[in-house]
Every structure is written in structure tokens, then in C-alpha cells.
């Protein structure tokens, strides 16, 4: 059965698209205000979404993080640990997991991020808080 593409249906669809876009704009603004970094990853830790707050936390634009592994942006001596935590989170399907790791800011300083993560059938949802609050720039 084919759905009608009458003007009334197109108008409804157009209104729905505008509503979703407006909702997304609101979410982006909220994510920008939250001091924690927010990411959505696949089950391998590849970042699919990064909130604007990563500019303040590590100095990266969100677009620079998308497609990269959460472990790859960690300090070399922390990468294996981060990969293991993600692997365990996905395998165990735990509701909430916390872990910490050292990350390099774009300016070269090392900062520790405290992670809180959850998983579903497709994604890992995580927030990261900078433990050295003074190293986060709000400019």
C-alpha cells in the first residue's frame, strides 16, 4: 500500500521536520552549556556524536572527534585500559559504568577525565568530566 503524497501530507511532514530540527537545536544549546563532554559511540568506542563542550574540555571541535575512537584520543599509557572498559561495558551490558583516564588537550596539557557510561543494543552513551576543573577554559 502506497502512502499519499498529497499537499496535506507534505505539509505535515514538513512541519514535523521543522519541529525535529528545532528540538535538535535546543539540545545542542543545552549540550554546549553542560560542562561535561557528551559522546555517543558505537560498540567499538568510535565516536558518532560529540557535544560542543569538548571545545572547552580538550580543545577539539566536535567534528574532529567524530569518527575517532575514545581510546585513540587518550594518553598512550591509558589507551588499553579505556579500550578494555568499553569492551567490558558492551559485553556485560552494564547499566552504568565509571572509569577514569588521562587525555591530551590540544595545547599539550594532560588532563584526567572521569567517565560515566551506559550501553544499549547499538550505542554507548557517555559523559566525561574534567577532574582538573581549572584546566577547562570557558572562553
**pLDDT per residue as tens digits for the range 43-55:** 999 999 999 889 9
Residue scoring higher pLDDT (68 or 2):
68
pLDDT band (50, 70, 90) for residue 139:
very low
Residue-averaged pLDDT of the chain: 83
* Contact assessment for residue 77 and residue 69, using Cβ atoms and an 8 Å cutoff: no
Of 6-20, 74-88, 101-115, the range with the lowest mean pLDDT is 6-20
Q: In angstroms, rounded to a whole number, what is the distance separating the alpha carbons of residues 92 and 95?
A: 9
**Strand ranges, E, within the chain:** 37-41, 47-50, 97-104, 110-119, 124-130
Report pLDDT for 65.
95
pLDDT band (50, 70, 90) for residue 68:
very high
Query: What is the pTM (predicted TM-score) of this model?
Result: 0.75
Q: In angstroms, rounded to a whole number, what is the distance separating the alpha carbons of residues 87 and 78?
A: 14
Superfamily of domain 35-135: PAS domain (3.30.450.20)
Domain ranges of the chain: 1-33, 35-135
Amino acid at each position: 500500500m502506497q502512502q499519499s503524497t498529497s499537499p496535506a501530507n507534505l505539509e505535515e511532514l514538513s512541519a514535523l521536520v521543522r519541529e525535529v530540527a528545532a528540538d535538535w537545536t535546543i539540545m545542542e544549546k543545552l549540550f554546549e552549556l553542560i560542562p561535561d563532554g557528551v559522546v555517543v559511540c558505537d560498540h567499538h568506542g568510535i565516536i558518532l556524536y560529540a557535544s560542543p563542550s569538548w571545545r572547552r574540555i580538550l580543545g577539539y571541535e566536535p567534528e574532529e572527534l567524530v569518527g575517532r575512537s575514545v581510546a585513540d584520543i587518550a594518553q598512550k599509557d591509558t589507551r588499553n585500559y579505556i579500550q578494555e572498559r568499553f569492551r567490558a561495558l558492551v559485553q556485560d551490558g552494564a547499566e552504568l559504568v565509571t572509569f577514569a583516564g588521562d587525555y591530551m588537550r590540544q595545547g599539550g596539557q594532560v588532563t584526567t577525565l572521569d567517565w560515566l557510561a551506559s550501553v544499549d543494543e547499538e550505542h554507548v552513551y557517555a559523559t566525561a568530566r574534567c577532574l582538573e576543573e581549572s584546566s577547562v577554559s570557558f572562553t
